[in-house]
Each structure stands twice: as C-alpha cells, then as structure tokens.
C-alpha cells in the first residue's frame, strides 16, 4: 500500500469510494448528501496548504483517500477519510492520517481535528488509538422539526434537591461554596441541618438547570467522600434521581425514560432504578423500592409526579425532597449561602 497525492485523474474512483462511504455510513436523517458537490470541492484541496491523498495497492488501484486543510492558524482539519472494506486493517487509514499530519505540520499546524458520526463506533475507536480525543459535540436538527417544537407551549417548571449522607454541615457548606460558582450565575444555595443522617442542599440555578444539580452532586460526593443523591421533578412531569458514590454515578432513574428524546433500548433500561444499589447505599427496602420506582412511556401512566417523588424519597430516607430552592427556607436549620 502506497500513499500519494490525488490528481484529477482519480476523480471517478473517488466518486465510487465516496458513494460507498455514504452507503456504509449514511448521514443523519434530514441531512442531504450531494456527491457531485463533495467531489467538486476536491479542487480546493489541491491548492497551497491543503492536502489531498490517496492510498493505492501495488497494482495501482486506489482503495482510500484523505482530504485535509489548514482550518485556523496552527490548526488543521481532516475533512474526509475513507478506506474500502477490503483494504482495512492493513494500516491504510493510519498512513493516510500520518502523511496528512506530516504535510500539514510543515505548513505550521500543531493540531489536527476531525469529525466522526456518533454511530460510527469502529472509526471512533481507531481514531482514539491514534491519540484523538473528544473536544466537542456537534448537534443537528431538521429545521422543520426545530420550528415545530419551538412553537410548542413551554412545559412545566423543574425543581430538585441534593442530599449528602453525612452530619458534617461545615464540610458540605464549604464544598457548596467552592463548586456552585463554577457552574454559572446562581441566586444562592440553602443548606439544611442534618436529618436522618442526610444534609439537604437546594440551589436556585440547580432548579432552573437540573444538569447543574447533578454536576454538583458528583462534586460533593467526591469532595466529602459521602454518598449523594440528587432528586427532583423535571419540566413538571418527570421524576429523576441520581445516586453518586465517590463522585461517580452508581444508579440513575428517570420515570419516563424517553420523555426528552428516543433512546436505544439499552439506554432506556439503564434509566430504571437499581433497588439493590439503592438498598445498599440508603437503607431502603429493595422490594418496596422496586415497586415504587416504576417507569412508563408517558407521565400520565404514573400519576402525579410529586407523589411519585415523595414516595421514592421517603423510602430512601430523604427529608425535604418535595420542593426545590423556593421552599428551602422552611427546612429545619436551613441557612442561605450567597455566591458573589
């Protein structure tokens, strides 16, 4: 297998390879692909500071290609790379990337980026072995669907609370003061006195953005060494909790697993409660918890979400989980923490 610069004479073979690529890894639904347009851009890669390479066998048959160019000062981008199935696992992709990187380094690049579909697990694994790391996630949405959803009436409010399995108020308060300001502008946090071996934390930003509350749960679990549980109602419809041990999620539950988006079957199942883990870490009765932490296809099938939340929290031994930041001042021994 040899690597050389692409030429206009390779156009027809590149068309075949690109069509094979689209058939093998189709784009997300709603995103059109114009092969002629993509091939028409080949000329751009034949100019200065750009790279157009092909991999060919010793008989002269082109079996792969790579296109790359300088994207920003010091940063190059590998826009396309494909190797025919019969030529894989022979080092062609690695050599294409290596040759592109060497040429671009000569033009001043110190970093090489690329994009890969989340469904293309084989490619992700191969790139990671070469040293690529995930830097960002690019999202897409069909415009018709985006406009339709943006016109829908707003869903209900969210609220939640964080419960730390400790009696050390000072340690919890210090951790809250340290981590909450890193997550964004918060109107404040409230820390309650210990109840049933748990200290409750409420945060104004955590109510508006449930993901922030979960991040705080991970940080406090890691900082204090204690088990932490975040629990709440999202958009007035869905009950969700996460259990953290040493900063890592060890159990998570979402009453309507596909409420926010469709999920692969395995991911949907993963959002069901694990009563064994919950029993070990909170003392809940595993049998009762299994019956309480139910999931369904719609919120209506489960009844009022607040009732479901309070039942789950009661089995875990969590007090004050039926409200968020707005009702936190009524908790015994509650004191406000302002973030400046």
**Secondary structure (DSSP) of 245-274:** ETTEEEEEEESSTTSSS---HHHHHHTS--
Closest by CA to 162, choosing from 130, 207, 120, 118, is 207
Residue given tokens 């890691």 in the structure block:
222
Residues 6+ positions from 149 with CB-CB distance below 8 Å = none
DSSP state of 153: P
Classify strands 62-72 and 50-56 as parallel, antiparallel or unpaired. antiparallel
CATH 3.40.630.30 assigned to domain 2-134? The reply is yes
Give the model confidence (pLDDT) of 26-49 as tens digits.
776 666 767 677 666 776 776 566
Residue 49 is predicted with a pLDDT of 61
Residue 197 is predicted with a pLDDT of 96
Residue 185 is predicted with a pLDDT of 64
C-alpha pair distances (Å), 81 with each of 11, 59, 73, 87:
15, 21, 22, 13
**pLDDT tens for each residue of the chain, 340 residues long:** 799 888 888 888 888 888 888 788 777 666 676 767 766 677 677 656 688 899 998 888 899 999 988 888 899 899 889 899 888 888 899 999 999 999 888 888 899 999 888 777 888 888 888 888 888 777 777 777 777 766 666 678 999 999 999 999 999 999 999 988 887 666 789 999 999 999 999 999 999 899 999 999 999 999 999 999 999 999 999 999 999 999 999 999 999 999 988 888 889 999 999 999 999 999 999 999 999 999 999 999 999 999 999 999 999 999 999 999 998 988 888 888 876 6
Domain residue spans of the chain: 2-134, 159-337
Q: What is the pTM of this model?
A: 0.61
Residue 182 is predicted with a pLDDT of 80
Residue 172 is predicted with a pLDDT of 95
Give the model confidence (pLDDT) of 236-259 as tens digits.
999 999 999 999 999 999 999 999
Give the model confidence (pLDDT) of 47-65 as tens digits.
566 888 999 988 888 999 9
* Cα–Cα distance measured from residue 160 to residue 208, given in angstroms and rounded to the nearest whole number: 9
């Amino acid at each position: 297998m040899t690597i050389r610069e692409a030429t206009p004479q390779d156009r027809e073979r590149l068309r075949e390879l690109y069509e094979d690529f689209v058939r093998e890894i189709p784009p997300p639904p709603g995103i059109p692909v114009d092969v002629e347009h993509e091939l028409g851009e080949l000329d751009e890669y034949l100019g200065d500071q750009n790279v157009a390479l092909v991999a060919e066998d010793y008989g002269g048959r082109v079996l792969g290609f790579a296109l790359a160019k300088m994207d920003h000062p010091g940063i190059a981008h590998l826009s396309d790379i494909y190797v025919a199935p019969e030529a894989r696992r022979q080092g062609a992709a690695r050599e294409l990337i290596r040759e592109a990187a060497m040429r671009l380094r000569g033009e001043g690049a110190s970093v090489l980026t690329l994009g890969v579909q989340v469904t293309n697990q084989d490619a992700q694994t191969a790139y990671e072995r070469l040293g690529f790391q995930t830097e960002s996630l690019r999202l897409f949405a069909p415009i018709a669907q985006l406009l339709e959803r943006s016109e829908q009436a707003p869903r209900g409010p969210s609220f939640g609370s964080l419960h730390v399995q400790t009696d050390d108020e000072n340690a919890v308060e210090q951790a809250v003061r340290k981590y909450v300001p890193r997550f964004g502008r918060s109107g404040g946090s409230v820390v309650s006195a210990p109840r049933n071996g748990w200290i409750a934390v409420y945060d104004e930003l955590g109510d508006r953005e449930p993901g922030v509350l979960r991040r705080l749960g991970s940080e406090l679990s890691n900082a204090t060494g204690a088990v932490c549980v975040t629990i709440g109602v999202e958009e007035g419809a869905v009950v969700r909790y996460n259990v953290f041990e040493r900063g890592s999620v060890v159990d998570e539950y979402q009453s309507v697993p596909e409420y926010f988006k469709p999920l692969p079957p395995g991911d949907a199942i993963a959002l069901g409660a694990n009563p064994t883990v919950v029993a070990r870490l909170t003392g809940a009765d595993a049998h009762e918890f299994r019956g309480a932490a139910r999931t369904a296809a719609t919120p209506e099938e489960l009844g009022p979400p607040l009732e479901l939340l309070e039942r789950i929290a009661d089995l875990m031994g969590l007090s004050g989980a039926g409200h968020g930041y707005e009702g936190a001042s009524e908790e015994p021994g509650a004191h406000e923490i302002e973030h400046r």
